[in-house]
Amino acid sequence: MKHPELIPVILCGGSGTRLWPLSRESYPKQFLALHGAGQSTMLQQTALRVKGVNAAVPLSGRPFVICNAEHRFLTAQQLAEVGIDHPRIVLEPKGRNTAPALTLAALAAWSKDTPEDDPVLIVMPADHVIDDEPAFCQAVETAWTAAAQGAMVTFGVVADRPETGYGYIQQAEGDEGGIRSIRSFAEKPDAQTAQRYLQEGGYFWNSGLFVVRASVWIAAMERFRPDILVACRSAMENATIDMDFIRPDPEVFSACPSDSIDYAVMERLPTDHASGISARVVPLQAGWSDVGAWDALWQVLDHDLQGNAALGETLSMDSRNSLLVSNGRLVVGVGLDDVVVVETPDAVLVAAKSQTQDVKAVVAELKKRGQGLAESHRKVHRPWGWYDSIDRGERFQVKRIVVNPGASLSLQMHHHRAEHWIVVKGTAEVTNGEKVMLLSENESTFIPIGHVHRLANPGKVPLEIIEVQSGSYLGEDDIVRFEDTYGRSSKADAVKG
């Protein structure tokens, strides 16, 4: 009998609000390098995590990645950087939680017309940390074997403390080759209940990782949430494909009900024997964390002798059990105890480590006030590179712009601003009205209001320029696009893409 292919399904739609100000809606935590593996991001680490599975497991090199449409180029770029050149990126026009996301992937991976090609899907959130990847891969091999036989498998993290921030899985008696049946699921407990779970044993933290055959997941949705399955099937039947992007019908999918994998299916299986799908759990001891808030990041980072952890340029003096994070400037902590300090160019967070879950409320308040600090950084990533708004005042703005080798901005025009461009590094190909010219370092040009223009990098090194804008309105939506390599045309894309 043919062994089913193992296909990674990476859920990349989270916003990471509890890790503000480093994580923002336009650049959430899964795209950040927060832990281990040099400068690789959490998405990149997740994409490479299962490469170490035994050769007996036929592993697909083309994962499905479910992400927000606004993050499509960022997702593709980060995957390409680690050698995953043609992932299947499914774009959610609107986040509808994990059950619809997995349903989209299962429908794309399997069809009743080809029942023999029924892969096993390993479902992984893009923003988790796993320190011991060999142990994780061994657990995946165990789960793959059970899933190939029709079970729906999750991973139960072996608890080492009475954690109140996670849901729990209670195992049934017995152990069959490292995999166990599930008796029940429990919501996030209070401290006393969590302590009881730890003392009694037989309880695991719910990891949010799943392994299941595509056809089994579709059958489970047909039984438990047919409304979600109908909406997802219709959205995929009317999907469009361009490059590596799969775009479900936006109107249909936006109307799909929202639900999680746990609530929609997993928690119902232990008591619904008529479904024919067994719920199984593989114990996992691999240094797992969902890095849901700053205190969780502090736990997984290396500590000094006083229990302090740090990212970036920092200095701690007479401080204990604290986390210092610098995104550019030196951050110094003196006399701190259980405190988190996070610096970015446009915001600084100072919080008691025990209250970092409340950062989500800060983001909600910023949105309520209409402040853009919840949505984006001062440094904004684009498919062609990035820009950083260095300074701004009445009728002027100064940006540092970096364009990747071979990339170009759209052919565009502005109604309300003029632009001065000064090349700092590299070579710029500039379209300015009817003229096309090359500019080298220390050379400049002026783009008058209303002139059609484009900036491109024909070289092999990043192009860096300083742009000085002047005019009556300097918003990012003052862009009229005529041509664009990345398929952006609307003002919405000008702001978000």
Model pTM?
Answer: 0.90
Cβ neighbours of residue 442 closer than 8 Å, sequence gap 6 or more? 422, 423
Indicate the class that CATH gives domain 6-289.
Answer: alpha beta
Pick the CATH number of 379-496 from 2.60.120.10, 3.30.420.40, 3.30.930.10, 3.40.1400.10: 2.60.120.10
The confidence score (pLDDT) of residue 15 equals: 83
pLDDT at 491: 47
pLDDT for the residue 368 = 93
Tokens of 414: 């502005």
> Exposed/middle/buried for 370, CB within 10 Å: 0-12, 13-18, 19+?
exposed
Rounded-to-integer distance, Cα 152 and Cα 106, Å: 13
Sheet holding 339-344, edge to edge: 309-311, 323-326, 339-344, 347-352
Task: Render each residue's pLDDT in the chain as its tens digit; 497 residues.
Answer: 578 999 999 999 888 899 999 999 999 999 999 986 567 999 999 999 999 999 889 999 999 999 999 899 999 999 999 999 899 999 998 999 999 999 999 999 998 777 778 999 999 999 999 999 999 999 999 999 999 999 999 999 999 899 988 999 999 977 777 899 999 999 999 999 999 999 999 999 999 999 999 999 999 999 999 999 999 999 999 999 988 899 999 999 999 999 999 999 999 999 998 899 999 999 999 999 999 999 999 999 999 999 999 999 999 999 999 999 999 899 999 999 999 999 999 999 999 999 999 999 999 999 999 888 999 999 988 999 999 999 999 999 999 999 999 999 999 999 999 999 999 999 999 999 999 999 999 999 999 999 999 999 999 999 999 999 999 999 888 999 999 988 775 443 444 33
C-alpha distances in Å from residue 59, one per residue of 55, 82, 142, 472: 8, 17, 14, 56
pLDDT at 494: 43
How close are the terminal C-alpha atoms of the chain, in Å?
Answer: 46
| Closest-CA residue to 264 (of 123, 130, 127) | 123
Query: Where are the strands (E) in 414-477, listed by range?
Result: 417-425, 428-432, 435-439, 444-447, 453-456, 463-471
pLDDT recorded at residue 489? 58
For residue 270, cis peptide bond before it (omega within 30 degrees of 0): no
Please give the pLDDT value at position 36.
67
Burial of 143: CB neighbours in 10 Å, binned 0-12, 13-18, 19+: buried
Q: DSSP for 41-75, please give it.
A: -HHHHHHHGGGGS-TTS-B-SS-EEEEEGGGHHHH
- Contact by Cβ (8 Å): 103, 212: no
SS3 at position 481: strand
Report, in angstroms and rounded to the nearest whole number, the Rg of the chain calculated over CA atoms.
25
**Contact criterion met (CB below 8 Å) for 413 and 482:** yes
The rounded distance, in Å, linking the Cα atoms of 293 and 385 is 29
Going from N- to C-terminal start, the domains of the chain cover 6-289, 297-368, 379-496
For residues 280 and 124, give the distance between their C-alpha atoms in angstroms, rounded to a whole number: 17
CA distances (Å), 183 to each of 99, 174, 203, 268, 494, in order? Answer: 21, 11, 10, 11, 51
Hunting for tokens 């593989």 — which residue is that?
282
H/E segment holding residue 399: strand 396-403
Q: How far apart are CA 204 and CA 33, in angstroms?
A: 28
